[in-house]
């Protein structure tokens, strides 16, 4: 029996929250208060999924996944499921995905750029979760 967790499933979500809270200190997160929703297009099974992450004063407070409309967030990042999966598998950098138009950002770019390093730290933690895509 594999202990891989289904990508964006409930177990993966809970593991993501646990790891983000334990591995990322408020200092590492630059004590930011922000939120983002990743919108996954063209998912297996034809559904649209989301991953929502919120931080308060540098502490990750919420990780939510699901279908349909995600919670309101400061930033929205929209892309294909496969693009996000490649980022999670560390096969593609998030910045490169944005710079090549594979991901689309909505929100204040000037502020988003200040959070680029924080976002990378989040992604690196998420990439460590044993995941079944």
Partner 1 sequence: MPRILDPQDKYYIDNPGRVKAIQAQMHKRGIDVYLGSRIRTMSFVMDTFCPWRSYIVIPPEGQPTYFTFVVDALRVGDETWIDGDHVRAYGPMGGMDQVSAITDFIKDELGIKKGRIGYEDGISAYTAEGNLSHWEYTHFKDALPGFEWVNSHDIIDALSLIKDKGTIERFRTASLIVDEGHKAARAALESGGYRGMTETVIAGIAALAMRKAGSVSEWNFAGLNEISSGFRTGLGACTPPTTKEIQAGEPLMLDFHAMFKLALGDHSHNYLIGPATKRQRWHADNFVAIIQKVIDNYHAGTTPGTLAAMMMDFAESRGCGDFIQPACEHGIGLFGDEWRIGAIVNPDLPYWTDQDHVYSENEMVVCAMQYAAPEENIGFRYENDIVITKDGCEVLSKYPLGIEEIS
Question: Which residue in the set 11, 113, 117, 127 belongs to the binding site for partner 1 (CB under 8 A)?
Answer: 113
Under the criterion CB under 8 A, does residue 100 sit at the interface with partner 1? yes
**110 touches partner 1 (CB under 8 A):** yes
- Angle at 95 (CA atoms; ends 87, 115), nearest 5 degrees: 105
Distance, in Å, from the CA atom of 89 to the CA atom of 91, rounded to the nearest integer, reads: 5
Please select the residue that binds partner 1; options are 17, 32, 43, 78, rule is CB under 8 A: 78
Q: Does 109 bind partner 1 (CB under 8 A)?
A: yes
C-beta neighbour count of 109 within 10 angstroms? 11
CA–CA distance, 58 with 8 (Å, rounded to integer): 23
Pairing of strands 75-80, 103-106: antiparallel
Find the binding residues for partner 1 in span 2-61 (CB under 8 A). Answer: none
- Return d(Cα 56, Cα 32) in angstroms, integer: 6
CA–CA separation, 96 and 116 (whole Å): 12
Q: Is 85 in the site for partner 1 (CB under 8 A)?
A: no
Span interacting with partner 1, options 14-22, 42-50, 55-63, 108-116, rule CB under 8 A: 108-116
Nearer to partner 1, 104 or 124 (CB): 104
**Which positions touch partner 1 (CB under 8 A)?**
78-79, 97-106, 108-111, 113
């Amino acid at each position: 029996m594999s202990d891989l967790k289904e990508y964006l499933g409930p177990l993966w979500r809970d593991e993501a929250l646990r790891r983000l809270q334990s591995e990322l200190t408020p200092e590492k997160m630059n004590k930011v208060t922000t939120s983002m929703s990743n919108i996954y297009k063209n998912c297996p099974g034809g559904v649209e999924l989301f991953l929502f992450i919120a931080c308060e004063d540098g502490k990750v407070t919420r990780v939510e996944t699901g279908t349909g409309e995600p919670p309101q967030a400061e930033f929205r990042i929209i892309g294909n499921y496969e693009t996000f999966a490649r980022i999670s598998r560390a096969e593609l950098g998030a910045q490169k995905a944005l710079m090549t138009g594979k991901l689309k950002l909505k929100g204040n770019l000037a502020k988003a750029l200040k959070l680029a390093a924080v976002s990378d730290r989040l992604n690196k933690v998420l990439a460590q979760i044993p995941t079944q895509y």
